[in-house]
């Protein structure tokens, strides 16, 4: 795993966790003021919301010097929405794995046509096109596979052990 992959995974997890904690604190304050707890989604619905948020944060980190600054507010908003309307644990952890893994898998898929350039000049007959270069997506494949499989297995175990959506909680009073 190279430095960019490591920074994407760690940054997505850190930013998403901070946003989730901040929104959860606001949720607790409002619940206390209202005198009743929030009801929120569990299971695949909440996991999907978290996956979109964490995937967006990972995309913002990867594209930090290009589209990342534009994507980041939307990604933080998605994490905030997930924290507001979905259960935080274990769906956030599962969503972090799925969202970041899906983005890594997307990077692999868009770089399938990678062809390394040879050393020295290349002689090409007339009328034949030649291209080389691009980004090698192969190093992104192992973390993508591990993260997506871990997320899917985590959600399946959660649903098998606790029923659809896992143990229900209406949150703190």
Examine the pLDDT at 171 and tell me if it is beyond 60: no
Scored b (16 or more CB within 10 A) or e, 83-104 reads bbbbbbebbbbbbbbbbbbbbb
Whether 50 and 81 have beta carbons less than 8 Å apart is answered as no
Q: Write out pLDDT tens, residues 52-108.
A: 998 998 899 888 888 988 998 999 889 888 887 887 778 888 898 899 999 999 999
Residue with tokens 């399946």: 156
**145 token code pair:** 């596979």
Domain residue ranges in the chain = 3-114+134-162
**Confidence label for 173 from pLDDT (cuts 50, 70 and 90):** very low
CA-to-CA distance for 82 and 159, rounded, in angstroms?
19
pTM here?
0.74
The rounded mean pLDDT for the chain is 81
């Amino acid at each position: 795993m190279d430095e960019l992959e490591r920074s994407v995974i760690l940054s997505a997890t850190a930013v998403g966790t901070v946003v989730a904690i901040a929104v959860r604190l606001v949720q607790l304050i409002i619940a206390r003021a209202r005198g009743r707890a929030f009801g929120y989604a569990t299971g695949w619905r909440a996991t999907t919301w978290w996956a979109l948020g964490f995937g967006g944060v990972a995309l913002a980190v990867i594209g930090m010097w290009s589209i990342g600054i534009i994507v980041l507010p939307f990604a933080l908003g998605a994490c905030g929405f997930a924290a507001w309307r979905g259960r935080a644990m274990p769906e956030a952890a599962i969503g972090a794995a799925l969202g970041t893994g899906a983005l890594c898998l997307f990077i692999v898929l868009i770089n399938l046509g990678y062809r390394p350039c040879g050393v020295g000049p290349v002689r090409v007959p007339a009328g034949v096109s030649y291209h080389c270069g691009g980004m090698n997506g192969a190093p992104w494949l192992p973390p993508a596979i591990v993260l997506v499989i871990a997320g899917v297995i985590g959600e399946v175990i959660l649903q098998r052990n606790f029923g659809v959506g896992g143990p229900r909680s209406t949150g703190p009073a």
